[in-house]
Structure 1
Amino acid sequence: MQLHQLEYLVAVADEGGFTRAAERLRIAQPGVSAQVRKLERELGHPLLDRSGPRVRPTPVGVAVVAAARAALDAVAGVQRVVDELDGLLRGEARVGMVTSGVFLDVPGVLADFSAAHPQVTCSLLEAGSGRLLDLVRAGRLDVVLVGAAGDLPDDLATRTVTEETLVLAVPPGDPLASSSSVAPGGLAGRDVVAPVEGNALREAFDLACAGVPVRVTCSASDPAVLARLAARGLGAAVLPASLSALHTEDLVTVPFDAPHVRARLVLAWPRGATSPAADALVRALVAATPPATPPRP
């Protein structure tokens, strides 16, 4: 029994005749007739009633046609799996990111992914968190690395990459340098150098200082740049606690007393079905995410 024989049988049953079935299959009519007769001989039963103007399945043929349809559907399912894998090899993977520092090497992951799947078109966009979230929700990006200070977006699947508190870095002679900690109110009227808007640290700082008259004199995406600006006296630098040892000779770091505010980097992607390439890229990024650790005090 051959798969094409089942296909021919189903076509004849559907079309009600060998000529129309041959036209549908785009093969010669004698070939269809010969293969169906060969199947009948192998099964030991006539499967088609050829006595009337329209060819119809016999009682045994009805059951065999139903089984043949199921077999053909199963084969089509196998083909769909192969097509999905082909889609991964020839698909598109689009990622967006804010500056992530050492926490997740998104460009490195994307480069390795592209090398493993050379026919996938990969793209990377760096932008602020708000814009990136809008783009992933609109289907224009497949996965994004964004900053979050408040609640995580509940309409997207998420994976926290890192979570920590903030510190302030000031020159040794600054009045804040001798403090054990600084509350948001202690920055009223002070000059501050802060991360750019859309950065997780900036969102956390703005959330903590809501209603406090803080002057942001400079902003930058690189914490090292913020530290250098603070060392030159342009304002207290807002830094992640993990970088509190930056420029220890030039700066003193003081804990920022806002214990309920955390700066997070989060991977976010659409829930539900996406393309095979997008799914594979998400898995690669999640696999590269460091193991979860408690927030830094």
Structure 2
Amino acid sequence: MLSDPIARTRRFHRAVTTEAGVLDASFLGRGRPLGPARVLNAIGRGITDIGEIRAYLRLDSGLMSRLLRGLEDEGLVTVESSEVDARRRSVALTEAGEAEFAAYEALSDKQAADIVARHPHPEVLLQAMDIVATALGYERTTIEIVSPLDPRAIVCLEAYYAELARRLKSGFDVNLSADPEARDMEHPRGAFLLAMQDGMPIGCIGLKGTDKGYAELKRLWIAPTARGMGLAQRMMREAEARARDLGITCLRLDTNSVLSDAVAMYHKLGWSEIERFNEDPYPDLFFEKLL
């Protein structure tokens, strides 16, 4: 059984559904099952279009209607039709709904903290959770254009810098690198792309505009628990698409040969090695791609 992937997966499903209270008639003791609680959570997190909530939670229209009707009867939500398109409806929390959402958040945070505290090596447990969550939710990964100064972008960039410091023999000091100005990675000069999954940033890449006849791709980073599923290639292609939208016809990037997986990917995606084009002390390989 220990070597049977089917048995191990089903054991995992049973453990998660039991711990999460999927079968409880009163999820977290608030008097309603998990279904309406998840809808309430989605609304509280800012998903107000009913169609988007259905897609996010993978609910059919009949069940979605019943769950919303129940929350309306409790006085927790209000539903309105769009003024632009009567076929689309949006939902919002009432004051009582806001209070219920806050109560669920506090209880869910405590439940999560208790689960993590059980394990003698919490970071190992959290990493396993991240791997599973990323794999299960990969199809729902979205790529957003944000400011490179967005707090979520900064989290990714700091993780990227820390990884370079570990992997490069010379270490890494961002102050010594050719670190792009934030404005160079914002419209209309460039863009900064963030990969998001269920509210968690799991990757980033910057498109840096220059006045040298080319733009650069910078700061490609994918969370370790999200690697190997094609997200880096997707981010590269999306950055190239943004470059085309801005009328950019030539892209360049630099990297270090220690990052062998990245180097192999650049070759696979049609990038060509060129001579050094900057004075950054950290890269030893340089690439170009004509769009």
Alignment TM-score, normalising by the size of structure 2: 0.25
Larger helix percent: 2
Structure with more contact order per residue of length (Cα contacts < 8 Å, sep ≥ 6): 1
Structure with higher Rg: it is 1
Alignment TM-score, normalising by the size of structure 1: 0.25
